[in-house]
Structure 1
Amino acid sequence: MSATASFAVPTAHGPKDVTVSYARVGRGDPLVLLHGIGHHRQAWDPVVDILATEREVITVDLPGFGASPALPDDLAYDLPTTNSVLGALFEALELDRPHIAGNSLGGLLALELGREKLVRTVTALSPAGFWTEAERRYAFTLLLAMRGIAQRMPVPLVERLSRTAAGRTALTSTIYSRPGRRAPEAVVAETRALASAVGFEATLRAGATVRFTDGLPGLPVTVAWGTQDRILVRRQGVRAKRLIPHARLVRLPGCGHCPMNDDPALVARVILDGSR
């Protein structure tokens, strides 16, 4: 069930109030799921029911995305701020070092929370930050183009396109390798979420200088990459393995940038294995 949590985040200028939207389901060890830039927590819907058979699953709308309002004007959408926000959210929800899994931006955030020792295990699906400068520019150009198209497209047109597999392919083939599997209502919702994400540009600007440079000693880490990822190409997974030598590197055959939709059973198994 959808809920919100409001809490104070410590800053150099005093505590700031932040509100985050989330959903919580299942029983077992807590597992937090973080989405990518421009997406929302419903990106995880294809795997939530499977995960909830063994975990208490908490899906989160990052600040400025989905149903979560923007950060206060004087807070940046950078890694230190987001770490503080998510750490404060864990406290508000009484989560003591949960397991965490993230996709794209969410994967990078999951790794950073691991670095801060705020989580027990990390599973990162196509995480950001392992790019070369050319790969980063390519990914950001593609993301900005997707955002621009979503903002210009009238909702009735999105709804009409989503009713057919060909239309869903036109709308979402950049992030899914099997877009026809996505439910029409989900395609409409995520297209609107991309168009209305108030934190999009600020998050993208903050990411321009981000580069993952060292490992996470002592923490179980799984890095998984779809073989059909069109945004963050799969060779970045090999780079991640070099930087985090003890990480388990998993190949996701036939999956795109958001593999949860392309192969829910495989992704759920990877996350559950990584959080044992």
Structure 2
Amino acid sequence: MASDEAALAGRTPEGWSTEAERRYADAQARLAEHCGVDVASRTVDTESAGRIHFLEAGDPDGEPVVFLHGVSTTAATWLPMLSALADDYRLVVPDRPGRGLSNSAKYTNKHLRSFMTAYLADLFDELGLDSPHVVGNSLGGQQAFLLALDHQRVDRLCLVGAPGGVSKEFSALWKLMTVRGVNRVLYWLNSLGDAEENARESTAELLVADDSAVPEPFYDVLAAASGMDAQQWSLRSLQTAQGSFGRMHDLFDLTDELPGIERPTCFVWGTEDSFWKPEVGRPVADSMPDAAFHELDGYGHMPWLDPGDETEERVRAFLDG
């Protein structure tokens, strides 16, 4: 892994090699400015996945908190939440391989469980993070579980929105996204029309219960991400690896293993989550030795984007201990 100053240097929107990357980096910078977050855009070369891009904000001497995003989102989608923590914590927000400004990645024909965390272990080593607090949303929650189970590299574990790893029950449409060829057609259909309007529709349908508080630049980020062809290919690759003709991968049910996580754990779960309702998560939390469960009335799958500050307050109180 590269550890020289150049590898960790900040990257400006103009410093990327393709027009799609520059367009995405510009949208990311505009969202950070809108959210009032002083954030650095950086990269590091990892052995497991090549270039990993991450955002870094907050107090460089504070306790580190790593944020992990969902399956089709990116690191930048956490930006609206970071200002609530930036005064005291060191915040590190990586793009998963194949999303945002990280290297594209092929997920099929890989050992998915190990690949989903190997780049994070490399990143932690590069940044001197032993066992940071980890906050995960959706697929990022599944990765957070695996960091705790397989690497023991989590201090406090916070799952915001329904995390992957608690159920194999998905909608029929979501299962179709795991079928090679079929998902190609579905992605093509979803790409038709205006990219920003598509971002608005998907946000309202999947991510939030009330989109009235979603920042306008947030949609620009999603639209720019949809224009990165290599990353869209990588996303299809991941979803193909997550199932087999609609039968979801065993990684989506870790419930027999989760009681083995002894780190302090907090679930923050909206009643209007588009994946699973809180009734799915409560028994999981009850099975764990040191877990609390907070139900947010009227909040969706990415609850920090809904109106109100309850998500930030719950996460902050948990991290503060």
Pairing 1:166-185 to 2, within 5 Å after superposition: 168=200, 172-185=204-217
**Shift in alpha-carbon separation, 1:52–1:233, aligned structure 2, 3 A:** same
- Could you tell me which of 186, 189, 194 is aligned with 2:218? 186
1-structure distance, mates of 2:235, 2:299: 24
Pairing 1:253-264 to 2, within 5 Å after superposition: 253-263=297-307
C-alpha deviations, 1:32-56, integer Å up to 9, x for none?
0000001001111111111112211
- Could you tell me which of 155, 158, 162 is aligned with 2:195? 158
The two structures have a TM-score, normalised by structure 2, of 0.72
Identity of aligned residues (%): 22
SS of residue in 1 equivalent to 2:66: strand
Which amino acid letter does the alignment assign opposite residue 210 of structure 2?
R
Structure 2 residue aligned with 1:199: 234
Answering whether residue 163 of structure 2 is matched by residue 127 of structure 1, we say yes
1-structure distance, mates of 2:224, 2:146: 28
Structure 1 residue aligned with 2:36: none
Unaligned runs of 5+ in 1: 10-16
2-structure distance, mates of 1:143, 1:230: 16
1-structure distance, mates of 2:173, 2:216: 26
- Could you tell me which of 275, 279, 284 is aligned with 1:231? 275
Which amino acid letter does the alignment assign opposite residue 303 of structure 2?
P
Which amino acid letter does the alignment assign opposite residue 7 of structure 1?
T
How far has the Cα of 1:272 moved from its partner? Answer: 2.1
- Could you tell me which of 97, 100, 104 is aligned with 2:134? 100
Task: Check conservation: 2:98, 2:235, Cα contact below 8 A.
Answer: yes
Answering whether residue 102 of structure 2 is matched by residue 68 of structure 1, we say yes
**Shift in alpha-carbon separation, 1:50–1:171, aligned structure 2, 3 A:** closer
SS of residue in 2 equivalent to 1:43: helix
1-structure distance, mates of 2:266, 2:156: 8
1-structure distance, mates of 2:287, 2:232: 32
Task: Check conservation: 1:221, 1:247, Cα contact below 8 A.
Answer: yes
C-alpha deviations, 1:101-122, integer Å up to 9, x for none?
0100001111111122111111
**Shift in alpha-carbon separation, 1:68–1:198, aligned structure 2, 3 A:** farther
How far has the Cα of 1:65 moved from its partner? Answer: 0.9
Structure 1 residue aligned with 2:32: none
Unaligned runs of 5+ in 2: 1-39, 243-247
Aligned length: 260
**Shift in alpha-carbon separation, 1:202–1:158, aligned structure 2, 3 A:** closer
Q: How much is the aligned-residue C-alpha RMSD, in angstroms?
A: 2.8
Task: Check conservation: 2:106, 2:237, Cα contact below 8 A.
Answer: no
**Shift in alpha-carbon separation, 1:55–1:143, aligned structure 2, 3 A:** farther
Structure 2 residue aligned with 1:12: none
Task: Check conservation: 1:259, 1:267, Cα contact below 8 A.
Answer: yes
How far has the Cα of 1:216 moved from its partner? Answer: 3.4
How far has the Cα of 1:184 moved from its partner? Answer: 2.5
Pairing 1:211-250 to 2, within 5 Å after superposition: 211-212=253-254, 213-214=256-257, 215-250=259-294
1-structure distance, mates of 2:92, 2:212: 27
2-structure distance, mates of 1:55, 1:262: 23
Answering whether residue 58 of structure 2 is matched by residue 26 of structure 1, we say yes
Which amino acid letter does the alignment assign opposite residue 19 of structure 1?
R
**Shift in alpha-carbon separation, 1:193–1:184, aligned structure 2, 3 A:** same
